Structures are given as C-alpha cells and as structure tokens.
A and B are shown apart, each in its own frame.
Chain A
C-alpha cells in the first residue's frame, strides 16, 4: 500500500486517555516502512482478519523498549473475519529469528475489519503476554487506523505510537 506520509498522521490518533494508567507502557516505535507493511498485510488478509508479530529489543525485566526491528506477517489460522490465531509455526520462526539477534517478540498486531481499533472482549480475554504490545489496525473506515495497547490482568492501557519520518 502506498500512502502519502503527510496524510498518515491522521491515521494514528494520539492516545485517547493518557491519565489514570495503572502502569507505564513503552511507546511503540515503527519505521514508515514497517507501518506500511503492517497495514498492507491487513489489506491483503481481507475479507478476514490478518495478524503478525513484532520483534525488538527488551530490557532486563523483559520489558520491550518499544523499538521494533522486524515485523513478521503471519497466517491467521482461523481464516475468519471475526477472530485470529497466529499460526504457531510462523510464531516459532519469528521467535527464533528474534532470539538469533538477542531480541524477543514484543507484540502482535491484527486487523479489525469492521470495528474500531480497540481491543474486543476476546482480545482482552486471550491476551497472554503482559509485556507485549497489542496493536490493532481498524479497516472500518476508508483510511486505516492503528492503535496499540498493553493488556494486563484484563486491564487495557493505550500505548503511544511513533512512526519515524512521519511529519
């Protein structure tokens, strides 16, 4: 997908509620190319939800710095417009690749084809990794919307997103 970078700022709204956060999450930092790759994979997956995982460096306690070094588009084995499951073989491959560079998987993205970029009840219930960043691309509107979250113990906190080279 080719987007004019000047138009993309509107696609990544600032956090809706920066106050009252139960924990301080990192900022998700993507290159413009990574951002485009994430969104393109979501369009490629239509009419179904698409998913992929993010790799990057982590600090001592396993906390991601928020920098993303590699995006791994994955197969949604549910092949569904309502749910996704990352193919475990894709996950294993991505995990090994990240580990070979001394990094870890730090998050996952998936698309919402007809709803907002906010975690569904299913997303919250099935969020397993407390340190991961859960990014959601909404394809509900003509323009894609990307938002990201931490999900811990059923609590959702929005994470800031910074796309490099995005004026």
Chain B
C-alpha cells in the first residue's frame, strides 16, 4: 500500500526537508519501518524505546487518531494520508 506521510516541520530535517513523503506498508507500523529505513533520523521521533508510538507525536490516518484505532497496527489503504503532528503542550 502506498500512502502519503505528512511531516511536521520539526521532523522535515530528517527527511531532506520534505513536508510530505510517500511510503509503503499494510499498517502504520510498516509504513514507519519503510520510512525510517530511508530516513533513519526519523526513527527515534516516531517510536519510543517501548516500541509504542512516541508520546510526543500524534498520528492520524486521514481523519482518525490512530491511538483510538489500533495504534501502530492500524491498517492503511492505498491513497491514505498519514499525518504526523507534534504534541503541542506546555505549562
């Protein structure tokens, strides 16, 4: 499955400055694996040491937050848009 992955500004430096990249996979986890194989710098920003989605990013499959789907096991279809958003927070 080929999907478009939209990157927040803070991650673009790890993807040659691109705001959007295409990647393959049947699940979000596979898409991320494909993405990080080509852009290793992204790896530490997407998935934490525990293998789960990093707490400082939010990932949407089209209009849906994957935390409320099947997280990294969420399936993707051709043409889906995966949006990676920074967690915007403070005190």
Residue B25 at the chain A interface, CB threshold 8 Å:
no
Residue A13 at the chain B interface, CB threshold 8 Å:
no
Residues of chain B within 8 A (CB-CB) of A134 are 90
- Which of the candidate stretches A2-10, A29-37, A125-133 sits at the interface with the other chain? A125-133
Residue B85 at the chain A interface, CB threshold 8 Å:
yes
Q: Which residue of B lies closest to A112 (CB)?
A: B91
Residues of chain A within 8 A (CB-CB) of B87 are 85, 88, 126, 128
Bound form: Cα–Cα A91–B86 in Å: 9
Tally of A interface residues using CB under 8 Å: 30
Given A95-B85, A128-B10, A131-B9, verify A88-B90 contact (CB < 8 Å).
Answer: no
Residue among A78, A88, A104, A126 making CB contact with B85, cutoff 8 Å:
A88
Bound form: Cα–Cα A82–B89 in Å: 11
Q: A62-B9, A88-B58, A91-B88 are in contact. List 17 more A-B contacts (CB 8 A).
A: A82-B91, A84-B91, A85-B87, A86-B88, A86-B89, A88-B87, A91-B58, A92-B63, A92-B83, A122-B90, A123-B91, A126-B90, A127-B90, A128-B86, A128-B87, A129-B9, A130-B10
CB within 8 Å of B: which residues of A?
A: 51, 53, 62, 78, 82-86, 88-89, 91-92, 95, 104, 108, 110, 119-123, 126-132, 134
